[in-house]
Amino acid sequence: MSEAANLLDQFSESDWAQLKNAIPLRPKLWLVACAEVLGDAPPSHAAAFLMDMVRTTDHDDVKVTALDALRSLAPGEFDFHSVASELRAVIAELRPRAGVVDTIVLDLVEQRLG
């Protein structure tokens, strides 16, 4: 686990609220790094943040990284079934612009959706 993920593990509810408020103000590279770290963070908070990133960002790189981080959560830590149709729609939107690596990630997320 990274140092950043260790810090997230110690976040209070106030810290999570501050992070939520900061996300819309951050540049794309910061959002990609944040999504990567959230994949190692406590899933009780991370899953919601990652879904928000998938839903709200205009950056394909951020969406793909957030999807990959969601995929990395252990079974039972995130209810893929409840958002399967939404995630499939996002994947379908991303596919025409996806490069080789992003296509692999999208394929893996689809496999996780069942």
pLDDT tens digits along 39-67: 888 888 899 999 999 999 999 999 999 99
Neighbours of 23 (CB within 10 A): 18
Q: What is the per-residue pLDDT for 54? A: 96
- The total number of structural domains in the chain stands at 1
Neighbours of 47 (CB within 10 A): 21
Site of tokens 């612009």 = 97
Q: What is the per-residue pLDDT for 75? A: 78
Mean per-residue pLDDT of the chain: 91
Q: What is the per-residue pLDDT for 85? A: 95
In this prediction the pTM is 0.91
Asked whether residue 1 carries a pLDDT value surpassing 60, the answer given is: no
Q: Residue 31 belongs to what domain range?
A: 3-113
